[in-house]
Amino acid sequence: MSARVDPIRLEILKNLFHSVAEEMGAALRRSAFSPNIKERRDYSCAVFDARGEALAMGDHMPVHLGSMPMSVAAALGTFPLAPGDVAMLNDPYAGGTHLPDITLVMPVYVAGSRKPQFYVSSRAHHADVGGAQAGSMALTQEIFAEGLRMPPVKLCRGATVDRDILALLLANVRTPEERQGDLTAQIAACRTGARRLEEIVGRYGLREVSTYAGHLLDYSDRMMRATLRRIRSGRYVAEDFLDDDGITPRPVRIRVAITVRGARARVDFRGSAPQCAGSVNAVEAITVSAVYYVFRCLLDEQVPATAGLLRPIEVIAPLGTVVNARPPCAVAGGNVETSQRIVDTLLRALARALPQRVPAASQGTMNNLSFGGIDPRTGRAFAYYETIAGGLGARPGRDGISGIHSHMTNSLNTPVEVLEQGYPVRVRRYHLRRGSGGTGRWRGGDGIVREIEFLTPVEASLLSERRRIGPYGLAGGSPGATGRNTLIRGGRSRELPSKISLRLECSDLLRMETPGGGGWGKPKR
């Protein structure tokens, strides 16, 4: 490190920037209306410099954080942001991920500055943004059926909410009060971040804070380069498959070739399947986010999560493939399911280079369940969304963890009490799926069984994976058990496909059995 950089001051500023992102997340969680944000914590917050480069990210959702810089870039490329302005967007083809993830971007002006010196951003998954099915996560074949699509627009102008923009949004969703409450919480999170950055500048001075922000980017860059140098130079190829796209039964290939040469790496997805008819298409932001996550996992956790980490890594995601789809492809599942399979494929390739560091495959799905209808208790519309945990892959020297969200999701479960109080449902079963983890010298973690009874008719959608192809084991370990979706109606059971939108009647039961993680190493006798 250069003698001109004080390492103590660098560490102080690193933690201050990170604490801003964390406090933003805490403000969002406390203020939000929906259980998806308050309980499951399906949100992310981050801090960016004057050029829109990430300086700090909260310990939130990896699938959000790695892709959020593209949303910030899209907003900054659309219009200037004056003091108090807040940009809003969710368009996957303009820096977003999928339509339920709404991103807000706010500039931070400090005393005496004529241009923003920082930007803060909050992203949250909204339980409904319109579309053909309640929950906006249906199995569709084009983005227009998935919900309201918003390019960057100004939600706030000079600290005042644009009522026309807000009215347009709320008129196209099933739960307008909840959506307004969650958006207001996101605005509050951004304003909290802006105040804290102003306080930091007031204490240390703009020149020093900006200088050390640049040093943080350089430091992250150097740490990633040092990590890449420890990987044996070579080309590491792997492929994995999605079960299907929900429309046709054909598996969908994800292929990657990671080339490491000294302090640089190229991640090439050529050979992956063309974009498909179903909603498992991923946009470029998702693919870059998965790459960011996997390579960040190779670092010590104390290395700051900044834009500098990606400087030595080149990502090639051919346009028109399932990892970089063109509009108007449906993309709801690309964010939640294909992102997981991209991670599995990247780790499988890196296992050839770092066999003693890479775990076996985790459950490889978020087991997305969304439903909505009219609550007979209130006569009002409701919409609900959740992801369900599964098994973590075994690691060299340690068993996998059971019943946990892994990789691109970092959310929690919705407590049974909250779910039953807020919605006309009853949770009949909720327990670990014993024996679903793959065997090996170290066993994969077990999945979960979650069975819900519906007390009123609903529209429901499932987007899930690993129902046909189990999570792989490594070094001789066996795969984890595949998942299963079951509808129980009138005492009769019917197995459901991994991806489906359907009508459920009163007293129907929906059971989701999630995959276990893969095992690692050959079992001892």
pLDDT band at 64 (very low <50, low <70, confident <90, very high): confident
Cβ contact 148:172 at 8 Å: yes
Q: What is the mean pLDDT of the chain?
A: 96
* Reduced 3-state DSSP string for 137-157: CCCCCCHHHCCCCCCCEEEEE
Residue 295 predicted with pLDDT over 70 = yes
Strand partners, 56: 47
Work out the average pLDDT over 446-452. 98
Work out the average pLDDT over 185-200. 98
Higher pLDDT, 1 or 370: 370
Q: pTM for the complete prediction?
A: 0.96
Query: Which two three-digit tokens encode residue 14?
Result: 């690193």
pLDDT band at 410 (very low <50, low <70, confident <90, very high): confident
Give the whole-angstrom CA distance, residue 483 versus residue 471.
Answer: 10
Give the whole-angstrom CA distance, residue 328 versus residue 150.
Answer: 14
Number of continuous H segments (helices) and E segments (strands) in the chain: 11, 20
Work out the average pLDDT over 473-489. 98
Strand partners, 161: 156
CA 67 to chain centre: 9
Query: Which two three-digit tokens encode residue 113?
Result: 């500055």
Question: Which regions of 11-130 does DSSP assign to beta strands (E)?
Answer: 43-49, 54-57, 86-89, 101-108, 118-125
Listing DSSP states for 161-222 in one string gives E-HHHHHHHHTTSS-HHHHHHHHHHHHHHHHHHHHHHHHHHHHH-HHHHHHHHHHHHHHHHH
Contacts of 495 (CB under 8 A, 6+ apart): 484, 485, 486, 487
pLDDT band at 163 (very low <50, low <70, confident <90, very high): very high
Residue 1 predicted with pLDDT over 60 = no
User: 81-115, pLDDT tens digit by residue?
Assistant: 999 999 999 999 988 999 999 999 999 999 878 99
Residue 3 predicted with pLDDT over 60 = no
Kindly report the CA angle at 187 between 463 and 461, in degrees rounded to 5?
15
Give the whole-angstrom CA distance, residue 165 versus residue 373.
Answer: 26
pLDDT band at 524 (very low <50, low <70, confident <90, very high): confident
User: 341-393, pLDDT tens digit by residue?
Assistant: 999 999 999 999 999 999 999 999 999 999 999 999 999 999 999 999 999 99
Work out the average pLDDT over 493-518. 98
- What pLDDT shows up at residue 331? 97
